[in-house]
Amino acid sequence: MEFRKPTGVLHKTSIDSAKNTYTTVAIAGQKRTFDEVHREAYDPIQLPEVPAAVNVTYKGDFLRPRLQQSLFPALQAGAISNVSLQGVTEYSQRKALALTPSSAIHPLLDLSHPSYGLPPALVGNFAAMGVRSIYPWQSECLIRSGALRGDRNLVYTAPTGGGKSLVADILMLKKVIGCPGKKALLVLPYVALVQEKLRWMRKLVDGITKNDPAFPRKVQNPTFTKLGNEDQVRVTGFFGGSRSKSNWADMDIAICTIEKSNSLVNAAIEECTIGKLGIIVIDELHMVDDDNRGYILELMATKVLTLKQDIQLVGMSATLNNTKQLAKWLGDAKFYHSRYKPVPVEEHFVFDNAVYPAASSIFCYKTTTQLAPKTQPTGNGLGSQLRLTPSRMIQPSPSKELKNPLDNAVVSLANETARAGYGALVFCSSRAGCERDAVLISQVMPRLDEIDSFTKDKRSDLIADLRSTSTGLDSTLEKTVPVGVAFHHAGLTTEERDLIATSYDLGVVKVIVATCSLAAGINLPARRVILHGARMGADLVGPSMLRQMRGRAGRKGKDEVGETYLCCQKSDLEAVAELMDAEIPDVKSSLMPGKRGIKRALLEVIATRLARSLESVGDYMKKTLLQCAAEDADDPSISQEELADMVNATLQELQDTRLIEADASGLELKATLLGQAIVASSLTPEDGLFVHRELSKALQAFVMDGEMHVLYAFTPVLAAQSAVNWKMFLTEVEQFDESNMRALGFIGLKPTVINKMAKGSTMKESTIEEIETARVYKRFYAALQLRDLCNEMPIHTVARKYDMPRGIVQNLAQTCRGFAAGMIQFCQRMNWGALAAVLDHYSDRLKAGAKADLLALAQISYIKSRTARVFWDSGYKTVASIAAADANDILPILLQAQPKKLRGKGIEEKNYHAKLLVKAHYICKKANELWGMSLFPLLGT
């Protein structure tokens, strides 16, 4: 199979004009796997030094346990053959590929070039993290757009893996380092991306100081260096249930989720500190038209545009089609489009055991469904199209489990990739599908006796790491990981997903089977991306999501090429063929009629006092993406008249629901106390009104001698969307004491209704009243899970009890902390101080997963829920007692707190103990830090 040479930069630049030659590399001859060529690229997860008191056997630098896990029965994947007779594939010979021009040939590709104005220490940090030069398109985007000078907004698009983030990093750091007192805000859509970027950025700015003559370097406290240096570039993350109280004075770069970034901007506007903000970078700008969260991005950017402050706006995405319109919206920004991808990608379409080039998918559909089977060449050139020839064939598998051609294709392609030493990423439509595919792929992978000792050792380490998590080792991963296969979806806990992703990145795991959401949620490139169908649940994925998944193919620095294979079945053939040829849709405003964004946008702009009259509301609307669409003759989505009518109707609705009010003249607008509370708590107007009704009932009769009423109060409204096991619901209610039964009645739930549902009835949700009633029952069911978590029931036990994936239970707890913080804000704005104090206490308990007596211990990393209780029962009741303990003394406590599971054999059990001892050392270290911080007031620091 032939691969295309990399196309390089598809737009002409001055750098291209000077380009005369490329450096090429060729490695021909005997086949060498990825592992053999890049063995030094492994960066094994090293264990910190383990004291000699622990009886563990080492061989070299690593533990050498033997994998004893029983595997799933072996299957045989279908053989894959080339249709052509050349006999040379990408796995038998490495291609000679043109590389990106080096900075030695083109000086502007060197970050130390004076045009970028970056301090040498920062350039050194970039180099230490693997960024020694930039691509031609990045150089042109930074310099020619004017964005590097900081006086122009910028919208740009480039393929996934093309280096978009580096452009934004340079712009943010240039602003923060070079402009005294200016701050940067980076907006990312997912918590996992925020956490990943936070780690990257903190390493990048290590030791970097700001060029701020107004703030001379301060001498660090010689005793407590943790107090830090205000000249250093400080990076803070805001996401999920994080309760960071940092303000602009405490940080230079804030990395946030969409919701947190909007709250930060609102707070800065209210506190009149918005002038400190120098640049806002919006990653994944295409999410502006996301049905659930897109409106938050649009209203945040529009508020900044309305302020007319000196704030640079930068938007980027791999999937933007109407870049020009988006640039117009963001303050007549410069727009830049690049198609450059550093690693060339071959795309394929798989149907009925045959592999075709992706470009021919529509011809494949016509050939298989519309043309006669005996179509002959006509002599006019059409015959070659009609007689479409596959590039490769996948033979049927002799194993009955792989009888389905679609399953056989997915498994065979993944197996071929892994056996050649490369990484494969398989996308599935559901969590159950992920686990099923992971099991099938593991059954065709090399058995333990075929795996080299180095790889077996690293996989054994991963098994031990997974086993030492708070939820224990998943029974399916226990059998798939030893042969290099894992799954990755929301049903796993954060710790499990992080361990699997890291091991895949290091080459320990060869195949990850993931849900489609992984495509945008984390950076995991692969040599080969395989799509098991093109659906998310029952619905076909859109062109943008398809582009995200296929964009994961190609690992710069590890692979010379990338490959994508979209495997589909006959019923989806037409839809998939059209999808592969479809254009990326334009990004539309989330304030459109029929969407909920316009009501939230107008309430926020009035509550933050950016608009106080009908005229100023109109000025605000002129800055929206919706207004740009109304002015665009090529965009018929809304007219000026429709826009005006929608704004007037929304303002009237906000007045009718008493969220805003007008003065006697009807011209002056302001938010009511309730409207201000809803904005402060980051709720939508609809959800805010529901919460207000529920809390108002609680103020009239609140049960303080039990916990269910307060737990219900900060159960997220969105938790009401989860399915309810009514039999479990009834079982729990039947065990309620008198106080919890009173809470049940005050909230408005009836045991007779729960009993009726448990016997098979269906709850009606036809009218608005019925929908709200159902929402209360579902929300209370989620509160039951929170009750168990607050009472030290481990996540895996709660998950098993309610028959839910443990990752979903963990996410509920994390989401709840963020929602609880919003509820506290809501109560404080409504002047309900007593209720806010009660909620605040239970928020701490939920974070700790423990009762009140364990809150101090739960501040220590890795000590939560059951672990904290075991420490308490073992006599360690204070932070100081753990700080004074020896790691070997608390190792038995950690063993006792771990989920019950059969002991391993010999060296495996010692390996597991060593992992826990590492955790024990870390716990002692963190306890010492907390204890030291508690002494600060005594020392007058």
pLDDT in the model for residue 837: 80
What count of other Cβ atoms lies within 10 Å of the Cβ of residue 2? 12
pLDDT in the model for residue 569: 82
CA dist., res. 173 & res. 126, Å (int): 12
Same domain, 817 and 927: no
Q: Minimum mean pLDDT among 23-37, 438-452, 833-847, 894-908: which range?
A: 23-37
pLDDT in the model for residue 94: 39
Domain-located, residue 471: yes
Same domain, 159 and 125: yes
pLDDT digits (tens, 9 = 90+) for 564-592: 899 988 777 777 777 877 788 888 888 88
Mean pLDDT across 173-187: 91
Domain-located, residue 377: no
CA dist., res. 613 & res. 833, Å (int): 32
Which tokens belong to 545? 């999501």
> What residue spans of 105-230 are helical by DSSP H?
120-128, 136-144, 164-178, 191-204
Mean pLDDT across 286-306: 89
Q: What is the DSSP letter of 78?
A: P
Q: What is the DSSP letter of 393?
A: E
pLDDT in the model for residue 242: 55
Same domain, 21 and 120: no
pLDDT in the model for residue 411: 95
What is the DSSP code string of 621-638?
Answer: HTTSHHHHHHH-TT-TT-
pLDDT in the model for residue 548: 79
Bridge partners, residue 253, by sequence: 184, 235
136 close to 109: Cβ distance less than 8 angstroms: yes
Return the higher-pLDDT residue of 410 and 11.
Answer: 410
Domain-located, residue 10: yes
907 close to 66: Cβ distance less than 8 angstroms: yes
pLDDT at 446 over 50: yes
Same domain, 619 and 569: no
pLDDT at 119 over 60: yes
Q: What CATH number did the domain enclosing 402 receive? A: 3.40.50.300
Domain-located, residue 592: no
Q: What CATH number did the domain enclosing 653 receive? A: 1.10.10.10
Count of residues in the chain: 941
pLDDT digits (tens, 9 = 90+) for 523-573: 788 899 999 988 776 777 778 778 878 878 887 767 778 898 999 887 777
pTM: 0.79
CA dist., res. 532 & res. 539, Å (int): 14
Helix/strand/coil (H/E/C) assignment for every residue in 526-582: ECEEEEECCEECCEECCHHHHHHHHCCECCCCCCCCEEEEEEECHHHHHHHHHHHHC
Which tokens belong to 908? 């495996």
Angle of helix 294-307 versus helix 258-270 axis, rounded to 10: 30
Question: Between vectors from CA 30 to CA 24 and to CA 32, what angle results, nearest 5°?
Answer: 75
Domain-located, residue 242: yes
* Identity of the residue numbered 253: I
Q: Minimum mean pLDDT among 466-475, 592-601, 851-860: which range?
A: 851-860
Which tokens belong to 77? 């994947």
Q: Which of 147-151, 670-674, 853-857, 925-929 has the highest mean pLDDT?
A: 670-674
What is the pLDDT confidence band of residue 40, given thresholds at 50, 70 and 90? very low
Q: What CATH number did the domain enclosing 797 receive? A: 1.10.3380
* Last residue of one domain, picked from the residues 819, 843, 867: 843
In the chain, what percentage of residues exceed pLDDT 70? 81
pLDDT in the model for residue 781: 94
Same domain, 770 and 865: no
Nearest to 636 by CA among 592, 583, 599: 592
pLDDT in the model for residue 212: 46
* Identity of the residue numbered 52: A
pLDDT at 107 over 50: yes
* Last residue of one domain, picked from the residues 793, 824, 843: 843
What is the DSSP code string of 636-659?
Answer: TT--HHHHHHHHHHHHHHHHHTTS
Domain-located, residue 378: no
480 close to 512: Cβ distance less than 8 angstroms: no
Bridge partners, residue 553, by sequence: 526
Nearest to 438 by CA among 472, 476, 495: 476
pLDDT digits (tens, 9 = 90+) for 222-267: 333 334 456 789 999 988 655 555 677 788 999 999 989 998 998 8
Same domain, 298 and 415: no
Question: Between vectors from CA 817 to CA 258 and to CA 524, what angle results, nearest 5°?
Answer: 50
Mean pLDDT across 764-791: 91
Same domain, 147 and 78: no
Rg of the chain (C-alpha set): 29
Mean pLDDT across 847-872: 79
Same domain, 834 and 909: no
pLDDT at 374 over 50: no
CA dist., res. 569 & res. 350, Å (int): 9
Query: Under 8 Å CB-to-CB from 354, ≥6 apart: which residues?
Result: 390, 392, 393, 394
Query: What 3-state class would DSSP assign to 415?
Result: helix
Helix/strand/coil (H/E/C) assignment for every residue in 858-871: HHCCCCCHHHHHHH
Same domain, 2 and 126: no
Determine which helix (DSSP H) or strand (DSSP E) holds 155, and give its type and residue range.
Answer: strand 154-157
pLDDT in the model for residue 170: 95
Q: What are phi and psi of 592, to 5 degrees?
A: -60, 155
Nearest to 233 by CA among 184, 193, 161: 184
CA dist., res. 226 & res. 149, Å (int): 34
774 close to 749: Cβ distance less than 8 angstroms: no
Mean pLDDT across 176-194: 89
CA dist., res. 698 & res. 695, Å (int): 5
**CA-based torsion, 411, 413, 416, 420: positive or negative:** negative
Same domain, 738 and 833: yes
* Last residue of one domain, picked from the residues 613, 638, 671: 671
Q: Minimum mean pLDDT among 197-206, 301-310, 906-915: which range?
A: 906-915
pLDDT at 31 over 70: no
Determine which helix (DSSP H) or strand (DSSP E) holds 514, and give its type and residue range.
Answer: strand 511-515
**Backbone dihedral region of 551: left (phi > 0), alpha (psi from -120 to 50 degrees) or beta?**
alpha
Same domain, 613 and 655: yes
pLDDT in the model for residue 753: 95
Q: What are phi and psi of 209, to 5 degrees?
A: -110, 160
163 close to 42: Cβ distance less than 8 angstroms: no
Domain count, the chain: 5
pLDDT in the model for residue 16: 31
Determine which helix (DSSP H) or strand (DSSP E) holds 512, and give its type and residue range.
Answer: strand 511-515
pLDDT digits (tens, 9 = 90+) for 714-765: 888 887 777 899 999 999 999 999 999 999 999 999 999 999 999 999 998 8
Mean pLDDT across 289-303: 89
What mean pLDDT, rounded, does the chain reach? 80
Mean pLDDT across 905-928: 81
719 close to 815: Cβ distance less than 8 angstroms: yes
What is the pLDDT confidence band of residue 476, given thresholds at 50, 70 and 90? very high
Chain Cα centroid distance, residue 388 = 40
Which tokens belong to 819? 């929602």
Question: Between vectors from CA 544 to CA 191 and to CA 561, what angle results, nearest 5°?
Answer: 90
CA dist., res. 817 & res. 814, Å (int): 5
* Identity of the residue numbered 550: R
Question: Between vectors from CA 410 to CA 409 and to CA 412, what angle results, nearest 5°?
Answer: 65
pLDDT at 430 over 90: no
Domain-located, residue 602: yes
Strand locations in 227-358 (E): 235-238, 253-257, 277-282, 312-317, 334-337, 345-351, 354-357
Q: What is the DSSP letter of 874?
A: T
Same domain, 785 and 900: no
55 close to 911: Cβ distance less than 8 angstroms: no
Return the higher-pLDDT residue of 906 and 404.
Answer: 404
CA dist., res. 303 & res. 325, Å (int): 18
The DSSP bridge pattern shows strands 669-671 and 660-662 to be antiparallel
CA dist., res. 119 & res. 251, Å (int): 20
- Cα 368 to Cα 364, 405, 901, distances in angstroms: 6, 16, 53
pLDDT in the model for residue 904: 60
pLDDT at 349 over 80: yes
Strand locations in 224-371 (E): 235-238, 253-257, 277-282, 312-317, 334-337, 345-351, 354-357
Domain-located, residue 259: yes
Containing structural domain, residue 759: 681-843
